[in-house]
Amino acid sequence: MGNIIYRRKKDSKENNGSRSRRIGGRSQRKMAAEEELLHRQALSMALHQHQLSQRFDGSMSRRIGSNSSRRHTDPLANNEKKVVESLENIKFRRIVLIHGEGFGAWCWYKTIAQLEEVGLLPTAMDLTGSGIDLTDTNTVTTLAEYSKPLIQYLEALPEDEKVILVGHSSGGACLSYALENFPEKISKAIFLCATMVSNGQRPFDVFAEELGSAERFMQESEFLIYGNGKDEPPTGFMFEKQLMKGLYFNQSPTKDVALAMFTMRPTPLGPIMEKLSLSPEKYGSGRRFYIQTLDDRALSPDVQEKLVRENPPEGVYKIKGSDHCPFFSKHQSLHKILVEIVQIP
């Protein structure tokens, strides 16, 4: 699957100036109406995803549009029956999807639909202060607080049940935290272009090559949020929209980018600045897998390669042409890899 190329028609000069102004006015009103509609759809989707996250199984059973039209069929259609049959004997079918910084459960809407179609049981959840969780981001100061919805989910699992965790971007730190504290409840942990840190590292350290040292970022970044006042340490951060588009969504469909622009929230700073304590006996005994995104501008392929080299997982997969959000830009490829990892004995 190649990259999606967007073309913009060159502006043409019209002699009829008044006609152009009338068309321009109508276009602006139309754009404003479409923007408002997208906003309402984003909020509705976020609410629906929050409702899904309160249950141990999903309810989205219909396919949400494939991004391919070759031969008038879904690219997975021919193999779907075989995939469903091969998954029938899989013991652990529950997959918990953990979003990254600024995102929420809403970002997994394509992935949820595809996983359910092959008989798996996906659950997406909002971390504390994310998505439509009402907690003030500025009050979330530790990784334990940030990961609380995931921890509560794992604590409520039956003794004989295990889940597969998928963590995106800084959500990888939540996976590491869960592996250290609940190794017996996690079948596999899949890091999706994520902060797969080593013992004693901070999640932020993974982004240091792009953002500079943590100390410098805390002192100089223009994206910091001071929830307790300028005289107090910063409590969160959020990138400006245009920068965010370039960092996260350089290959994502326009509609998904619009959804994200309306729905993303500030990221609490404390959790990503916290050093993780990871032991060989607990974290080290977990089955880890890493999915690299090869057109990623937020976490470069070189940095991702360094992560898997310094902290080797059981398996490494790569998605060509994917930006930092493969659940938008390459959701079919991501789905195929997730199903493949699920089937590994």
Contacts of 24 (CB under 8 A, 6+ apart): none
Residue 186's SS3 state is strand
Amino acid of residue 313:
P
Distances (CA, A) of 249 to 49, 245, 320: 21, 5, 14
Q: Which residues are catalytic?
A: 169, 296, 324
Residue 21's SS3 state is helix
Tokens 């965010």 identify what position?
244
Spatial distance between the Cα atoms of 329 and 3, rounded to a whole number of angstroms: 9
Spatial distance between the Cα atoms of 28 and 22, rounded to a whole number of angstroms: 10
Neighbouring C-beta atoms of residue 322, cutoff 10 Å: 28
Q: How many CA atoms lie less than 13 Å away from 65 in the CB half-sphere?
A: 6
Spatial distance between the Cα atoms of 298 and 322, rounded to a whole number of angstroms: 12
Neighbouring C-beta atoms of residue 159, cutoff 10 Å: 6
Question: Which residues pair with residue 288 across a beta bridge?
Answer: 189
Alpha-helical segments (H) within the chain: 17-53, 77-87, 109-117, 143-146, 148-155, 172-181, 203-206, 208-211, 214-220, 241-248, 254-263, 269-272, 301-310, 326-329, 331-342
